[in-house]
Structure 1
Amino acid sequence: MNDTELRQLVRAKYAQSALGMAKGSACCDDSCCDANGCGDGYAADELASLGLDASASLGCGNPTLLADLRPGEVVLDLGSGAGLDVLLSARRVAPDGHAYGVDMTDEMLAVARANQTKSGLGNATFLKGTIESVPLPDASVDVVISNCVINLAADKGAVLREAFRVLRPDGRFAVADMIALEELTPEAKQRLDLWAGCVAGTISLDAYADELRAAGFDAIDIEVTREVRLEEVEGVIASAYIRARRPSRVEIAAR
């Protein structure tokens, strides 16, 4: 399966999820969060203040908890889905900050914009694009977040290099994602349903750290939050919180 085929698969899957959300169905229907507790890590009162609930999440954690967001900062969510993390970020960086979400699925963008209307927040923007090619300038954001999305990319290095590109020096990378604790079989890695379910695309903790390092990040920290032993295939995956930093200009110059 090549990059184009995988992107088409993911787009179709999340378009289906978006249509389900628009009809008011449950979020965790064959999505990344199936094994991880849909909406884990979100306070009900915080969601209610946006006019939303946990059904707006298809993730494996709450990356906004990691990011230490501050008023005035600019945040980017890679693969923003229904917009929950973007809107939470927008509230935390208000009044002068801004939160962007990028997603390649028209149906998800429509749901996200509808959720923004419910929230009443004006300092958020949803952009159409891929996480390998973000439609924002170099060094334009303070924080990059993402929630159970990077594992879906065939070329994770390309995603991490793009995150590094858009971050300002000393910018922060704060992501919830799935990793592999025990390697999956080659057969499992070729299963389309396991790719769409955030299983087949997982890589090991060490491999994830290596990809971050190769992209230029430092201060890398990966914290496993929940292990998932798969019944239908051999292997163990886990949800994880992943933190890293783009070095400052002084640090880069000193290398």
Structure 2
Amino acid sequence: MSTKTNADELRDEVRRRYAEAARAVTEASSCGCGSGSCCESETDGRWGEALYDDDQRGELPEAAVLASLGCGNPLAVAELREGETILDLGSGGGIDVILSARRVGETGIAYGLDMTEEMLALARKNAAEAGIRNAVFLKGMIEEIPLPADSVDVVISNCVVNLSVDKPSVLSEIGRVLKPGGRIGISDVVAEDRLSPEERAERGSHVGCIAGALSRREYEVGLEAAGFEGVDITFTHEVAEGMHAAIVKAVKTTQPELVGLPVIRAAESAGCC
């Protein structure tokens, strides 16, 4: 008898889809997501490589560009500085890690965290091809980041937090690994506050980056509870009715006292998938 929970099944489905995406790129497929896309279609201007400018794409191996499955460009707002330590959650084919590593320079370091072996292998290959020596790719889950507390200056992510089945843990872990005063620049899909979890589920699948999205208010409350201040969530473009790609920015408070995490009830608790 299977002991897998719905959360385990969703995580396995996400892992399977992104493994397919990595294999498709490795096999020189013309579509990075293969059949059965990850974050829907990355060819319509709302997802993937189209969200990076020509100069950024020119810095990258072709396979890194093809493997881009995100909903935004977190580097556009992350304001990376020489010598900083950066962590990219759900680093995929390595596009944001490679670009980050260039910006923090040889005195900085760019970590990429992914749970999919195929994506990690692709990212390491892409970084080597790009001549990047200050990138480190780690295997793990974003709910359990394998880095020490207070070790990172900036956390970025591109359309991955919405895929998590335990978002309070993700936000708490981001707060744990960031140094006091550290900051986030996250691209994610965020729902309008008027939409219920059931209504979000009607607009797309969890693996397609839609159904599991938090609302703007849920994101704000979750980040504040995890020890962040100055939370700013800016919608950039609509990806489904009432669902938006967004830039999420916040700074880890320098105060040591953190309040307890609330229960964030997003679409994964609504039996959407």
> Normalising to structure 1: TM-score of the pair?
0.90
- Of 243, 247, 252, the residue aligned with 1:241 is 247
Contact 2:82-2:104 within 8 A present in 1 as well: yes
**1:183 counterpart (173, 191, 195):** 195
Following superposition, the deviation at residue 153 of structure 1 comes to: 0.7
2:151 aligned partner: 140
Choose from 194, 197, 200 the match for 2:205: 194
- Looking at structure 2, the residues matched to 120 and 200 of structure 1 have their Cα atoms a distance apart, in angstroms, of 38
> Separation in 2 of the partners of 1:102 and 1:82?
11
- Find the residue that maps to 2:211 and give its secondary structure: coil
Map of 1:232 onto structure 2: none
Separation of aligned partners in 2, 1:95 and 1:12: 34
Task: Give the alignment partner of residue 41 of structure 1, picking from 28, 51, 54.
Answer: 51
Name the structure where helix makes up a greater proportion of residues: 1
Report the Cα distance in structure 2 between the residues aligned to 1:241 and 1:188, rounded to whole angstroms: 19
Query: For the residues of structure 2 that align with 1:2 and 1:187, how far apart are their CA atoms?
Result: 19
Matches within 5 A, 1:73-92: 73-92=84-103
Q: Distance in 2 between matches of 1:95 and 1:45?
A: 21
Q: 1:63 to 1:185 in 2, by over 3 A?
A: closer
Are the structure 2 counterparts of residues 188 and 42 from structure 1 closer, same or farther at C-alpha, using a change threshold of 3 Å? closer
Q: In the TM superposition, what is the alpha-carbon distance from 1:56 to its structure 2 partner?
A: 2.9
Aligned CA distance change for structure 1 residues 47 and 247 (closer, same or farther; 3 Å) = same
Does the residue aligned with 1:189 lie in a helix, a strand or coil?
A: helix
Structure 2 residue matching 1:115: 3-state secondary structure: helix
Query: Does the CA-based 8 Å contact 2:148-2:177 persist in structure 1?
Result: yes
Higher relative contact order (CA 8 A, sep 6+): 1
Which residue does 1:162 correspond to in 2? Answer: 173
Answer yes or no: is 1:3 the counterpart of 2:15: no
Q: Number of aligned pairs?
A: 247
User: SS where residue 132 of structure 2 aligns?
Assistant: coil
TM-score computed with the length of structure 2 as normaliser: 0.84
Computed over aligned residues only, the root mean square deviation of the Cα atoms, in angstroms, reads 2.2
Residues 106-155 of structure 1 show CA distances to partners (whole Å, capped at 9, x for unaligned) of: 00001101101110010000000000011111111100000000000111
Aligned letter for 2:14? V
1:8 aligned partner, one-letter code: D
State how 1:216-227 maps to structure 2 within 5 Å.
Answer: 216-227=227-238
Distance 1:109 1:64 in 2: 20
Any gaps of 5 or more consecutive residues in structure 1? 230-234
